[in-house]
Structure 1
């Protein structure tokens, strides 16, 4: 019979990359961790891990079992946390995924006071610009910027997010500033590759809201990057025009390193949102964290430039 301790050990080993590191994280002896893994393999009738003197890797069976093992461990942890929350306590694990630049610039500073006020919450924050699968990845929720593409997620809006076309003074001095959609198409663009070619969208009504009939501008590819910090820095270096959220571009625009470009239309409006898998009851601590973040960011959010 499979035991929960063995499943938890297997998940810890797969995440730690070694039995000794998993033992350290679990605060158990290496021999106990090894024996629990062996018991699980015997119960399943399959080898889950390849062990060598230099490294540890998952077998094909181990890789197939890992996602389900994570869900089992996560469900048990959440059940225990839910029982504690019924008694009025904010305790237990909380696993969140968020974008790298937003996490570094805004999410971290907003979260630290919340975690200090609730020291029994065990937060794991995974910063990744890719759109991870919340369910299969074992996340309680994901924090993202932009449109909500996964219909299996239930989203809570944390803050509106405006974006601005911008370029360096040197780029504008050399190439001029486009004054229309048609002129913008002729300029070099610095594009966010995780969004694809249809990222530069401008609603025909120019109000900045979501518009299915928006004008999509592709421009000439000057540079494609998958990180907001690097897009901002490339724009400051004069490599092209960038479409950046104000939570990234704001400081550079205030210092004059980037200048706004007005083409007579505003980019499509977006949001910072927290999304959790549909059908999964969000915990009280997740709701409390979302409320805290929403209040901290504000509406309009504090990072918005007053002249944009």
Structure 2
């Protein structure tokens, strides 16, 4: 059994959702593709695909297996490309995940600059504010903001960030400017759900971190939504400056409670510690560190 050929057939069928389309892509007969899938399922002792008259869908086992198959095929592609070029030039696919707002506001230009320098690399980017498991979900690299939780991963600090309380001049003129954190009790606070479930915000008072209870009528797990609500003068919000930088420069938003700001947070590139760090990953990490 040619395991690699069978994996390629499985990946092609999974992506196309059709045996016929996969066969066309691989330049093979339908019967050959079907046999390769059957051989693979027999070898694994598990059904990977459910075939109906209309479409092909993945079983749960098939979904889990596809993540690993894609990684293996990408690695093979990288190895072959490396031998072909006989150089240390970065080649292959990088699977990257990052927080949504950071990805849109800050990461995008850095990745574009990297791809101009290294056109033989492809980057598949997944933006989400949830905590992504690199190992089980098949990612090469993650951008993490703040304290690191997983001690089994390696990390390189890329930059530091600042989180500020802000509002529009119009809102502050109408409702007053908070002078101390406790003043937030009388303000409509637009809160990030992933930070203490939106119920309290962190501040520094006399060198100690305290949590000020807040309340409001708008909550979100996405910073850009809170940003837009703040721009509409809906209330006061707590956001990283990489989201609101332009609005601070043009005075659409003003910082308040600056004397009580929490310490700056770290921004990291995180990768699997047990895995050899390939040229493509190392050059991307170095590029991001220099870019930021």
Shorter-chain TM-score bucket reads 0.7 to 0.9
* 2:248 aligned residue (239, 247, 253): 253
Q: For 1:221 and 1:280, how far apart are their aligned partners in 2?
A: 45
Question: How many residues are matched?
Answer: 290
Deviation of 1:268 after TM superposition, in Å, equals 3.3
Q: For 1:150 and 1:192, how far apart are their aligned partners in 2?
A: 23
Q: Evaluate the alpha carbon distance shift between residue 251 and residue 18 of structure 1 in structure 2; reply closer, same or farther with a 3 A threshold.
A: farther
Q: For 2:29 and 2:235, how far apart are their aligned partners in 1?
A: 54
Contact persistence 1:165–1:261 (CA under 8 A): yes
* 2:234 aligned residue (239, 245, 251): 239
- TM-score, with length taken from structure 2: 0.85
Residue 273 (structure 2) aligns with: 278
Deviation of 1:77 after TM superposition, in Å, equals 5.0
Residue 194 (structure 1) aligns with: 194
SS of equivalent residue, structure 1 residue 286: helix
Deviation of 1:204 after TM superposition, in Å, equals 4.0
Residue 226 (structure 1) aligns with: 221
Q: Deviations along 1:57-109, whole A, 9 cap, x unmatched?
A: 22243245344444544554565577679842211221111222222222121
Q: For 2:20 and 2:143, how far apart are their aligned partners in 1?
A: 32
SS of equivalent residue, structure 1 residue 247: helix
Q: Evaluate the alpha carbon distance shift between residue 159 and residue 60 of structure 1 in structure 2; reply closer, same or farther with a 3 A threshold.
A: closer
Residue 93 (structure 1) aligns with: 93
* 1:264 aligned residue (254, 259, 267): 259
SS of equivalent residue, structure 1 residue 135: helix
Normalized per residue, the structure richer in helix is: 2
- After TM superposition, the structure 1 = structure 2 runs for residues 65-214 of structure 1, keeping only pairs within 5 Å, are 65-73=65-73, 76=76, 87-197=87-197, 200-204=201-205, 214=209
Q: Evaluate the alpha carbon distance shift between residue 78 and residue 54 of structure 1 in structure 2; reply closer, same or farther with a 3 A threshold.
A: same
Contact persistence 1:164–1:243 (CA under 8 A): yes
Contact persistence 1:2–1:44 (CA under 8 A): no
SS of equivalent residue, structure 1 residue 220: coil
Q: Deviations along 1:258-277, whole A, 9 cap, x unmatched?
A: 11112531123212211002
Q: For 1:262 and 1:85, how far apart are their aligned partners in 2?
A: 56
Contact persistence 2:157–2:266 (CA under 8 A): yes
Residue 300 (structure 1) aligns with: none
Q: Evaluate the alpha carbon distance shift between residue 152 and residue 205 of structure 1 in structure 2; reply closer, same or farther with a 3 A threshold.
A: farther
SS of equivalent residue, structure 2 residue 282: helix
Larger deviation, residues 58-67 vs 225-234: 58-67
SS of equivalent residue, structure 2 residue 135: coil
Q: For 1:235 and 1:173, how far apart are their aligned partners in 2?
A: 14
Residue 209 (structure 1) aligns with: none
Q: Based on CA coordinates, which of the two structures has the bigger radius of gyration?
A: 2
Contact persistence 1:189–1:242 (CA under 8 A): yes
- TM-score, with length taken from structure 1: 0.81
SS of equivalent residue, structure 1 residue 10: helix
Q: For 1:232 and 1:256, how far apart are their aligned partners in 2?
A: 14
Q: For 1:51 and 1:4, how far apart are their aligned partners in 2?
A: 22
Gapped regions of structure 2 (runs ≥ 5): none
Deviation of 1:195 after TM superposition, in Å, equals 3.7
Q: Deviations along 1:168-212, whole A, 9 cap, x unmatched?
A: 223222322211121124432222223443773223455xxxxxx
Contact persistence 2:88–2:279 (CA under 8 A): no
- Aligned Cα RMSD in Å? 2.9
